[in-house]
Amino acid sequence: MNKNKLTTREENYSDWYLDVIKAADLAETSIVRGCMIIKPYGYSIWENIKDELDKEFKRTGHKNAYFPLFIPLSLLSREADHVKGFAKECAVVTHHRLIESKDGKIIVDPEAELEEPLIVRPTSETIMYESYSKWISSWRDLPIMINQWNNVVRWELRTRPFIRTAEFLWQEGHTAHSTFEEADKEARTMLGVYRDFVEKKLAIPVIAGNKSENEKFAGALTTYTIEAMLQDGKALQAGTSHNLGQNFAKAFDIKFTDKDSEIKYVWQTSWGMSTRVIGALIMSHSDDNGLVLPPNIAPIQVVVIPIWKDNNKDEIVTKANEILKMLKENNELRIEIDDNDYESPGFKFNKWEKKGVPIRIEMGSRDIENSSVTLVRRDTLEKIIVKISDLSSEISNLLVSIQDSLYNNAMKRLTTNTVEVKDYDEFKKTVGTKDDSGHSFVKAFWCEGKSCEEKIKEETKATTRCLPLDSKEMEGKCIHCGEIAKHKWIFAVSY
């Protein structure tokens, strides 16, 4: 009998990842023209992420707005580094009309070519900053602190659901300030918002740091990043925040008259987090039974499954609904009951496990007789029998315990698999180039030269992930060339 067991991870990580997405009903796993269909359950995770982040953005003084999807080519080209960084992956609109050809086919009307091609936004710096230049003239107009929730398109040659799709959903914050210090503080603050969110809500520990010159955002002065480690030891950039300096201000002529009557360029930041974090969520916590969701972000935190016999269905379902109501009122839970009569209890257990619901409450006649219920936690599958009178407090404690335990396990993985190496041979072995089973983060001195970075990438597939924020300057030798190096960087194979 085909029980749709998930691929075991020894077999193939990529298959396992797709299996989890499919089993949990998050998205269509076959990518259509580089784009992904996110199904309602997957989207509800994104909605929770949006709600939590949006609250933080508002708390830190930002407002939401919306800017157009299409960016004229000339506008995108205004900042030289920026356009270079995105040139290879832009979707371009060149025509505005279709017609019927002589042989009855619908074709693009050659007469309807646009005077100037429009780029589908890969990010919105350029189109937003064109407006900023009009909006800003005095120090009183600053800071501008705007965020937008939207979709962007980057024509990736190779895609993976959630982790890298041609179109994706995200938020992008764009601020303008009167001083470098204020802008840099903003960029760091927003990285902190991302780190707190990912660690506390998604239960994924991250390493926060600076990107190398080579890896930073096209057009930025400094790029700050949070890097997560997935279960196979590969790295995934979970969020970034850029100090843009005055690069865009100069390209878009964003100037203001300061208190001292001097005309100055503004200092800017941009920062983003995308549906990619759902990929990080899946790859961080899931097991061979399917998705495992941290309670703080799970669309459904508790599912109640009544188990009845022929003669006591009404009684059990009524009791289950009472408990549902009681928990909703006492605990403000996202809780659901699954009392359909066309699926067997075993089927339901399995269904909700695949969807990663943190706690399952089983209620049958055995439980009712003892005034108790059976709790099953998704992360360990441990069964706990609880008196109904203690249920409210038990559920609260258990949700916290699951959240903590997921974070701690992920933290343990990050700690034990982040290692320092003594030479380049060990570097190669540790970072894990041979197969997909054993990757690690490697912490090593690097001279910060571009050629070493490129050679290491060529030889090991590992890239510099970041220079951790808490790094101290030291004396050492570059792991690759042996020249003087001041900092230990994190290297890893990434998605």
To RNA, the closest distance from the beta carbon of 171 in angstroms equals: 11
Of the residues 362, 379, 448, 453, which one makes contact with RNA according to CB under 7 A: 362
Residues 410-439 that bind RNA (CB under 7 A): none
Residues 251-280 that bind RNA (CB under 7 A): 272, 274
| Beta carbons of 437 and 472 less than 8 angstroms apart | no
Q: Is 106 in the site for RNA (CB under 7 A)?
A: no
To RNA, the closest distance from the beta carbon of 306 in angstroms equals: 9
Q: Which residues pair with 138 in a beta bridge?
A: 257
Please say which residue, 115 or 314, places its beta carbon nearer to RNA.
314
Q: Is 11 in the site for RNA (CB under 7 A)?
A: no
Residues that contact RNA, how many (by CB under 7 A)? 63
Please say which residue, 154 or 174, places its beta carbon nearer to RNA.
154
Of the residues 121, 354, 439, 488, which one makes contact with RNA according to CB under 7 A: 354
Please say which residue, 138 or 318, places its beta carbon nearer to RNA.
318
Query: What span, in angstroms and rounded, lies between the C-alpha atoms of 137 and 155?
Result: 36
Query: What span, in angstroms and rounded, lies between the C-alpha atoms of 35 and 113?
Result: 26
Q: Which two tokens stand for residue 120?
A: 């589908």
Q: Is 222 in the site for RNA (CB under 7 A)?
A: no
Please say which residue, 186 or 407, places its beta carbon nearer to RNA.
186
CA 274 to chain centre: 5
Of the residues 88, 387, 412, 455, which one makes contact with RNA according to CB under 7 A: 88
Distances (CA, A) of 428 to 12, 292, 435: 22, 32, 12
Query: What span, in angstroms and rounded, lies between the C-alpha atoms of 413 and 404?
Result: 14
To RNA, the closest distance from the beta carbon of 115 in angstroms equals: 27
Q: Is 240 in the site for RNA (CB under 7 A)?
A: yes
- Scanning 134-142, 343-351, 444-452, 474-482 for contacts with RNA by CB under 7 A, the matching segment is 343-351
Sign of CA dihedral 41, 44, 46, 49: negative
Of the residues 350, 401, 405, 471, which one makes contact with RNA according to CB under 7 A: 350
Residue 329 makes CB contacts below 8 A (sequence gap 6+) with none
Q: Is 289 in the site for RNA (CB under 7 A)?
A: yes
To RNA, the closest distance from the beta carbon of 3 in angstroms equals: 3
Please say which residue, 350 or 396, places its beta carbon nearer to RNA.
350
Please say which residue, 6 or 142, places its beta carbon nearer to RNA.
6
Please say which residue, 9 or 164, places its beta carbon nearer to RNA.
164
Query: What span, in angstroms and rounded, lies between the C-alpha atoms of 461 and 402?
Result: 35
Q: Is 52 in the site for RNA (CB under 7 A)?
A: no
Q: Which of these, 150, 154, 174, 175, lies nearest to 164 by C-alpha position?
A: 154
Q: Is 318 in the site for RNA (CB under 7 A)?
A: no
Of the residues 56, 130, 182, 215, which one makes contact with RNA according to CB under 7 A: 215
The answer, yes or no, to whether the previous bond of 143 is cis (omega within 30 of 0) is: yes
Rg of the chain, C-alpha, whole Å:
26
Please say which residue, 142 or 232, places its beta carbon nearer to RNA.
232
| Beta carbons of 38 and 275 less than 8 angstroms apart | yes
Task: Indicate the pairing of strand 463-468 with strand 487-492.
Answer: antiparallel
- Scanning 47-55, 82-90, 261-269, 481-489 for contacts with RNA by CB under 7 A, the matching segment is 82-90
Please say which residue, 368 or 398, places its beta carbon nearer to RNA.
368
Residues 138-167 as x/- pattern, contact with RNA by CB under 7 A: --------------x-x-xxx-----x---
∠ CA 461-467-468, nearest 5°, is 120
Q: Is 347 in the site for RNA (CB under 7 A)?
A: yes
Q: Which two tokens stand for residue 102?
A: 């002589």
Query: What span, in angstroms and rounded, lies between the C-alpha atoms of 91 and 119?
Result: 6
Query: What span, in angstroms and rounded, lies between the C-alpha atoms of 242 and 305?
Result: 47
Of the residues 10, 111, 116, 341, which one makes contact with RNA according to CB under 7 A: 341
Exposed, middle or buried, 109 (CB in 10 Å: 0-12/13-18/19+)? Answer: middle
Of the residues 122, 233, 358, 432, which one makes contact with RNA according to CB under 7 A: 122
Of the residues 119, 169, 254, 368, which one makes contact with RNA according to CB under 7 A: 368
| Beta carbons of 471 and 224 less than 8 angstroms apart | no
Q: Which two tokens stand for residue 86?
A: 């995105």
Q: List, as one string, the DSSP characters of 7-33.
A: PPTTT-HHHHHHHHHHHTT-B-SS-BT
Q: Is 376 in the site for RNA (CB under 7 A)?
A: yes
| Beta carbons of 332 and 295 less than 8 angstroms apart | no
Q: Which two tokens stand for residue 134?
A: 């009009």
Of the residues 171, 210, 237, 417, which one makes contact with RNA according to CB under 7 A: 237
| Tokens 């120090």 found at | 139
- Scanning 48-56, 197-205, 253-261, 309-317 for contacts with RNA by CB under 7 A, the matching segment is 309-317
Q: Which two tokens stand for residue 136?
A: 């800003």
Q: Is 366 in the site for RNA (CB under 7 A)?
A: yes
Strand order through the sheet with 359-363: 335-337, 302-306, 359-363, 372-377, 383-387
Q: Is 401 in the site for RNA (CB under 7 A)?
A: no
| Tokens 């983003």 found at | 272
Of the residues 170, 197, 265, 491, which one makes contact with RNA according to CB under 7 A: 170
Please give the residue ranges that form the binding site for RNA (CB under 7 A). Answer: 1-5, 14, 23, 30-33, 85-86, 88-89, 122-123, 152, 154, 156-158, 164, 170, 211, 215-218, 220, 223, 237, 240, 272, 274, 289, 307-310, 313, 341, 343-347, 349-351, 353-354, 362-368, 374, 376, 381, 383
